[in-house]
């Protein structure tokens, strides 16, 4: 699971627990200027992931790490589809972040209100 907060004009995603090991990342920092938006999307877990490099994918258990598909890099850290949030990015290493959070609606509201400010 991940914790999301806003810090000094940046979106900060902190990867928690053993997910750090599977995702091979512990923290992502993205300038808010490069965040296009966020949505709570439990259906995203059924989408094709692409080629894993590096990361882990155990269907029904965890998808974590960097995946390449259609020329884009997507970061995944998902265990529970009902907690999925998709964050769209521009001009970043990743085109999207697909992460599991404690409260998807609150996380989306935090990101969207920060973008509107």
pLDDT in tens, 4-62: 999 999 999 999 999 988 898 999 999 999 999 999 999 998 888 888 888 888 888 99
Residue 115, burial from CB neighbour count under 10 angstroms (0-12, 13-18, 19+): middle
Contact 63, 76 (CB under 8 A): yes
Residue 59 is predicted with a pLDDT of 85
Handedness of CA 70, 57, 81, 7 (dihedral sign): negative
Q: How many C-beta atoms lie closer than 10 Å to residue 35's C-beta?
A: 21
Tens digits of residue pLDDT in 56-95:
888 889 999 999 999 999 999 999 999 999 999 999 999 9
H helix intervals, the chain:
19-23, 104-116
* Size of the chain in residues: 117
Q: What is the value of pTM for the model shown? A: 0.93
Q: Which domains does the chain have, with CATH numbers?
A: 2-116 (2.30.29)
């Amino acid at each position: 699971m991940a914790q999301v907060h806003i810090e000094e004009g940046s979106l900060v995603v902190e990867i928690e627990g053993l997910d750090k090991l599977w995702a091979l990342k512990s923290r992502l920092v993205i300038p808010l200027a490069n965040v296009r938006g966020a949505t709570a999307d439990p259906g995203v877990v059924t989408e094709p992931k692409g080629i894993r490099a590096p990361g882990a994918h155990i269907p029904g258990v965890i998808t974590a790490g960097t995946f390449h598909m259609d020329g884009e890099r997507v970061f995944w850290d998902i265990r529970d589809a009902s907690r999925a949030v998709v964050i769209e990015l521009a001009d970043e290493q990743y085109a999207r972040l697909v992460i599991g959070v404690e409260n998807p609606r609150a996380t989306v509201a935090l990101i969207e209100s920060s973008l509107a400010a």
